[in-house]
Structure 1
């Protein structure tokens, strides 16, 4: 069986990309100033699905300007090390880790598919030392910095799974957001990791009569 997990808000209690970018920005007065100038434009764009990739790319470029590929990888690896040492606000969600472990113990194939940069997600998931495949947003170099190439969100998560050889259907899908509705609809057992009647009603209104809400 195939179990597919979102990352931020599902396995992690926080926004890994936001914390990584902010960590880079706050160490540089020049980057911080650039973010202050760009934020009135970029921040609203990030909130709207149609313009989210462009808005995120603006902030990503500011935070990574001047980095080559090796330095980019080193930055993500260092963020992962800080996370494992408890040095930032990011944390694993106990319910998420428990579900992940249960699927691995059962011999299921486990995939994390996330809108976070794949290189960052791998730096967080890889040290778990488990056979977990990671799919995420690809980055490309532009003007001396990095921007989003293929933004792995919404329907694109399903496309990423198909391109990786996992077809169009999976047994389980876990996410905290109905932005992942295509991912949930592709699952025999979709789970939204927000408990309570409100979450159950959201699943029902989305037509996911086979879905369930889990309080993680």
Structure 2
């Protein structure tokens, strides 16, 4: 059986992409100033589903301009190493990792499908040393930097699973966000996770007859 997990807010207790972008911005005065100038426009765009990809691409380009593919991967690997060392305000959710292991123990296949860039998500997940397939947002070069190509969110997560050979339905889905409703609706056992009361409120809004909520 297939168990599908979101990453940020589900397996991780924060937004890995936002933290990585800010980490890159704060290390460079020009990037920092450019981020501050762009933020009043880009951040509201990120918050709105229709403009999220464009807003994220603005901040992504500022953080990565000047990086070739090798340097991009090295940046993600360095970020992941500092995350593993506990040097960043980002942690694995204990219940999330335990749930992963329970699925592996039961012989299930596990896929993480995330709006985070695939290259970043893979770097973060690799040290877990588990056979996890990662599907995320693809990036492309644009004017010397990197921007989002295919943004892996909402219905696109289901399309990514189908394109990877996992069909239209899966046994389990875990996420903290109602932006993942298509993912939840495709699962036989959908689970909304988070702090107890918030997860239950989201479950009520989702109106999933087979859904459950869990405090992670």
Answer yes or no: same fold by TM over 0.5. Answer: yes
Give the structure-1-normalised TM-score.
0.97
Unaligned runs of 5+ in 1: none
For 2:197 and 2:210, the matched residues in 1 are separated by 15
Aligned partners of 1:6 and 1:114 also within 8 Å:
yes
Counterparts in 2 of 1:66 and 1:197: CA distance versus 1, 3 Å: closer
CA offset digits 1:66-121 (Å, max 9, x no partner): 00000000000011100000010010000101101100111100000000000000
For 2:45 and 2:201, the matched residues in 1 are separated by 29
Q: Which residue of 2 aligns with 1:213?
A: 213
Aligned partners of 2:192 and 2:202 also within 8 Å:
no
Q: 2:86 is paired with a residue of what secondary structure?
A: coil
Q: Which residue of 2 aligns with 1:48?
A: 48
Q: Which residue of 2 aligns with 1:155?
A: 155
Q: 1:46 is paired with a residue of what secondary structure?
A: helix
Q: Please tell me whether residue 140 in structure 1 is matched to residue 137 in structure 2.
A: no
Superposition RMSD on alpha carbons, in Å?
1.1
Ranges of 4+ aligned residues in structure 1 off by more than 2 Å: 194-207
**Which structure 2 residues correspond to residues 135-214 of structure 1 after superposition, within 5 A?**
135-196=135-196, 199-214=199-214
Aligned partners of 2:174 and 2:191 also within 8 Å:
yes
Measure how far apart 1:36 and its partner are.
1.1
For 1:100 and 1:74, the matched residues in 2 are separated by 27
Q: Which residue of 1 aligns with 2:61?
A: 61
Aligned partners of 1:195 and 1:213 also within 8 Å:
no
Give the structure-2-normalised TM-score.
0.97
Unaligned runs of 5+ in 2: none
Counterparts in 2 of 1:197 and 1:67: CA distance versus 1, 3 Å: closer
- Count of matched residue positions in the alignment of Structure 1 and Structure 2: 216
Q: Please tell me whether residue 113 in structure 1 is matched to residue 145 in structure 2.
A: no
Measure how far apart 1:40 and its partner are.
1.0
Q: Which residue of 2 aligns with 1:94?
A: 94
